[in-house]
Chains A and B, each alone.
Chain A
């Protein structure tokens, strides 16, 4: 055992004493094999990232061609950070991401727990609950637009007929209700994802452990807290992070249902960037926005990878 470790150590030390270029040269054949993939990656990923960063330091007047852009340093960034719209959109994005993620997770958790027990019609119910997740987001957005419609929407009609309101509420055309209304649609769409993840997680909870806890005198709630929940902490972290990243990058639902309006009340970062770039041809500002977004998403990604490898570490120790 010791001999093996020592050997591994010394050979690693040997490699470390080589410099990177020498090592690459020694393994040149390996690089040759992955070269085509690297070239494709550089063209489709690295170059756009680089170009976006470059563009974020330029002004692109709508009257000029893109190659005649004007270098303005960090002016785009300072303009963004000092603009009122930026803070409005950022607040919207935070509300949108946090509310969607947490409520979708809690609903998904509840659905997973409910479906974990055996009862008549479980398979059918599970299939029905997955529908929102599998239908196209574009189709769902249009359907919900009609459901919310102030003249023909089913919700408004029902509310009026029940006598709760005098006339149908204007869900997506008023500043106060538009964001919550869109969040409801988003939650409806993605809670099945949390449900599926947690249902898979629940299957890893050993039955004998739950029985042991039952014999030990734990109530249903205590069994959940002391046995089920610890088993789900890993999958919960991953689910929440995946949902958060997806929500942070949402586009389809707000863009199709409201296009960010009224008066930016439902703009989130991605829709705002899209509008700046392709609606108003302000490429430089949009690029600067994108760079900021990139930094934030990469930070979330870092925690995601850390959570994943943290789980692996735990399993390896076990």
Chain B
């Protein structure tokens, strides 16, 4: 196992930057998820690390070697693909043996390694089968096994669970997590599903438009999103973002809405707003931090219910606030109806404030 360092990594296609100055360090034995919407550059980044496409600029270091110009086979990596990418005409045994045969290992050593990998992944009984005779989950396990036999420095996984149905995905998620814990493997894992990233990874790298937006532990990314993109991408349902205007009323710092109401700010939040470059402030709040009242309360602001989605454990309410939709979760016992007038109370310690122009999170200096 080894650490992976990306330094100012750049990949351009013509004038388009698919990967734009991405720098990050994956420590030895760490599970890092590259996450972002489609087209954000996460798969391109993974292919650059694998060496499947040439880099335009920057450095890739695996272990203590700069691998910029090495072929994929010389980078000491193994890769797991979304569509499993098993050789259809080869048996499971030969699929597992293929990377070792390509390295011209002695036959008995190949046999030993294949059988070891099959044992680890509990598929010794499947060795003689062809890939088409396996279920999706089994095929993905063979793909994992083919990566495992290589004993590589780094595992690269490109959306390995996307082709599985929901139930299998949850099961394979824990299998891959287990795989990581048992092997202390260094894993770079690409996914568009933020839930996968949050549940499996030690650290997550959120990407958008080719840029690395934030690189931190899932808990940190969730609690302290650096900008509006990360705030809205991580968490389900997404964090609600309401564009407002900063002003003062009776000597107090407030956020005002075009709807006429004003939200007073705590001293800490007032300092954050004061640090903003413009008057445009975006208020962000997660569904669980907003309180819903059915009657007017001091400090609560009026909103109109749009939809109500009971899920059993909680009921998700979407309400219009100053022209934006806000997600609120309420206990199932609370009954509200669409178009009902409600009042929302924000927790001053748990709201997020963003500069409306730079879209960056505001900090009190």
Contact = CB atoms under 8 A, between A and B. Distances in A.
A82 interface: no
Instruction: Give the interface centre of B82, B102, B132 by most chain A CB atoms within 10 Å.
Output: B102
Nearest to A314: B132
B102 A230 contact: no
A212 B103 CA distance: 15
A317 B89 CA distance: 12
A232 to B, nearest CB: 12
Contacts of B72: 214-215, 217
B10 interface: no
A280 interface: no
Interface in A207-226: 208-209, 211-218, 222, 226
B219 interface: no
Instruction: Give the interface centre of A211, A215, A222 by most chain B CB atoms within 10 Å.
Output: A215
Contacts of B268: none
B82 A214 contact: no
Interface residues of B, number: 25
B79 A226 contact: no
A67 B270 CA distance: 114
Contact of B85 (A211, A317, A318): A211
A317 B129 CA distance: 13
Interface size class, chain A: 10 to 19
A206 interface: yes
A115 interface: no
Contacts of B71: 214
A214 B71 CA distance: 9
A216 B145 CA distance: 12
Contacts of B98: 213, 216, 218, 226
Nearest to A229: B89
A233 to B, nearest CB: 9
A196 interface: no
B78 A215 contact: yes
B85 A208 contact: yes
Contact of A206 (B50, B52, B85, B146): B85
B103 A215 contact: no
B87 A211 contact: no
Given A214-B72, A215-B79, A209 B85 contact: yes
Contacts of B39: none
Given A208-B81, A318-B132, A216 B146 contact: yes
B99 interface: yes
A219 B267 CA distance: 65
Instruction: Give the interface centre of B47, B85, B88 by most chain A CB atoms within 10 Å.
Output: B85
A13 B169 CA distance: 45
Given A217-B103, A222-B102, A212 B81 contact: yes
Contacts of B178: none
Contacts of B89: 230
A237 B292 CA distance: 70
A217 B73 contact: yes
Interface string B73-115: 1000111011101111110000000110011000000000000
A103 interface: no
Nearest to B89: A230
B67 to A, nearest CB: 13
A126 B233 CA distance: 45
A227 B132 CA distance: 15
A278 to B, nearest CB: 50
A218 B102 contact: yes
Contacts of B103: 217
A230 B87 CA distance: 9
Nearest to A315: B132
B82 A208 contact: yes
Nearest to B78: A215
Nearest to B99: A216
Interface in A172-204: none
Interface string B124-150: 000000001000000000000010001
A97 to B, nearest CB: 30
A90 B174 CA distance: 68
Contacts of B77: 215
Contacts of A230: 87-89
B99 A217 contact: yes
Contacts of B78: 215
Contacts of B85: 206, 208-209, 211-212
B189 to A, nearest CB: 16
Nearest to B94: A226
A-B pairs with the 5 shortest C-beta distances?
A217-B73, A217-B102, A212-B85, A216-B99, A318-B132
Given A213-B98, A317-B132, 7 more contacts: A208-B82, A212-B79, A215-B73, A215-B78, A215-B99, A226-B98, A230-B87
26 contacts: A206-B83, A208-B83, A208-B85, A209-B85, A211-B47, A211-B52, A211-B79, A211-B81, A213-B87, A214-B73, A215-B50, A215-B52, A215-B73, A215-B77, A215-B99, A216-B98, A216-B102, A217-B72, A217-B73, A218-B73, A218-B98, A218-B102, A222-B102, A226-B87, A226-B98, A230-B89
